[in-house]
Amino acid sequence: MERSLFTKIIDREIPATIEYEDDTVIAIRDVDPVAPVHLLIIPKKPLRSIQEMGPEDHVLMGHVVHVAQQLAEKFNISHTGYRLLTNVNADAGQTVFHTHFHLIGGEALGGLRSTTLSPVHKSHAHRSHAFWRDLAVFLVAAIGLAYGYNELNPKRIAWMRPEYKFDTLSTAPIIYPRDTLGLNGIATLDSAADRSTRQASLDSIKRATDSTKRAKELLTKGVDTTKMAPSAPCFTAESGVIKEISYDQFITFLTKECVILIDARIPESYAKGRIRNAINIDGTMAESPEVIPRLAYLARDKFIIIYCDGGECELSHRVAAVLKNFGYGPIYVYKGGWAEWSKKK
């Protein structure tokens, strides 16, 4: 018979952890155990399997069983239970064709249909179970660390992305007359007004359209329209009201004195450029202890307009949500933000 792996171990050509040895058998630890105790009891006689054993080998078989008993006592599995088995040829899972016996124990091994009957199958199942167990432990630990870091981080990210849905400011505001530009405070068109009031509103809408165009021209020329005094007050508080405004409405608001302009972008973007005299409130930190006091003590007699980079303008809405909780309003979100402003200005 060709010299097998076990023959080379017996001859000390390959290292192994030896638990027992005498003149006829050697017992070593399995390098790929399927249970806490998994030993291989190997007769030194070079037989492919027990199928090749003859009557002269009966004493050897009895000796293998006796060695198994001794090892079971040594590893404290004699009373809890163990399994002594051998695989014969390929269908039984034999991979090393040198007679050997598996002594398996240290845990509940299941019934006779258990894959522990085949150490090869049990080994695969054991490795698969260990893999999924370790993966589950890793994922739980990773999620725990991520949650803890996120909760302690001032720029924490919401686990579920909030949906911001607000009404858009009416496209037909009433603009009270202003001496210089014809611009002033904005009020919602009263749907129950009588005919004369409706006509006055339509006239105001026309003036608003003309005034917006004039405001754009003056802003393009660099004229600071906020220095032009209004003829009537332009601010009416509406606590908790958040609405979105268009570019044209944003331009109109920039002509007013009663406006606080907030840039909700990150400080790095703000440093590269901003709209007019906007103050920077980093939207990623809107709920942080460092930023909340700044929001809580803003002036309450002015419109608040917030912008960010554009798109869904989530940073603006995060700032707006904090301001709403403090009773500010009306609060306007310019969704076009820096992107639209840079393109159209």
Residues with Cβ within 8 Å of residue 327, at least 6 apart in sequence = 239, 240, 300
182: left (phi over 0), alpha (psi -120 to 50) or beta: left
- Residue numbers annotated as active site: 100
Determine how many CB atoms are found less than 10 A away from the CB of residue 270.
17
- Cβ density class 86-112: b for 16+ within 10 Å, e for less: bbeeeeebbeebbbbbbbbbbeebeee
Unique residue bearing structure tokens 């007004």: 193
Cα distance between residue 253 and residue 261, in whole Å: 10
DSSP 88: -
Of 263, 297, 265, 266, the C-alpha closest to 279 is: 263
